[in-house]
Amino acid sequence: GAVVSQHPSWVICKSGTSVKIECRSLDFQATTMFWYRQFPKQSLMLMATSNEGSKATYEQGVEKDKFLINHASLTLSTLTVTSAHPEDSSFYICSARERTSGGYNEQFFGPGTRLTVL
């Protein structure tokens, strides 16, 4: 299957700072990337959907000014957690899908980023 990477794999930051997480599709062009968040013992919750070259679509209850998403190229999307607080500590996972002549392919997930806000 296709490979999706995330960087960093884990990050610790102070409350009030901003953190940027990168999601890259390594061997395919991702027209759409999804950002999920997972709290301990909970399901993956979709935060937003980003299409290359356009604004992200956020799920209900997700603050777009706090979680800035940029999908500037077909292989890179970034999630920036602005003014992070301890309650933002979570596991953030991205997924990517490719558009082919036959339609859309399945989503491939990255390994995730563990964010801890002190």
Partner 1 sequence: DQQVKQNSPSLSVQEGRISILNCDYTNSMFDYFLWYKKYPAEGPTFLISISSIKDKNEDGRFTVFLNKSAKHLSLHIVPSQPGDSAVYFCAASRGEGGSEKLVFGKGTKLTVNP
Q: Is 104 in the site for partner 1 (CB under 8 A)?
A: yes
Residue 19 or 47: which CB sits closer to partner 1?
A: 47
Cα–Cα distance, 20 to 35 (Å, whole number): 13
Q: Which amino acid is at 113?
A: T
One of 11, 45, 68, 76 touching partner 1 (CB under 8 A): 45
Q: Is 110 in the site for partner 1 (CB under 8 A)?
A: yes
Closest CA to 92 of 117, 65, 56: 117
Q: Is 90 in the site for partner 1 (CB under 8 A)?
A: no
Cα–Cα distance, 33 to 85 (Å, whole number): 25
One of 13, 22, 49, 80 touching partner 1 (CB under 8 A): 49
Cα–Cα distance, 30 to 97 (Å, whole number): 5
Which positions lie near partner 1, rule CB under 8 A? 1, 4, 6, 9-10, 32, 34, 41-46, 49, 91, 93, 95, 97, 103-112, 114
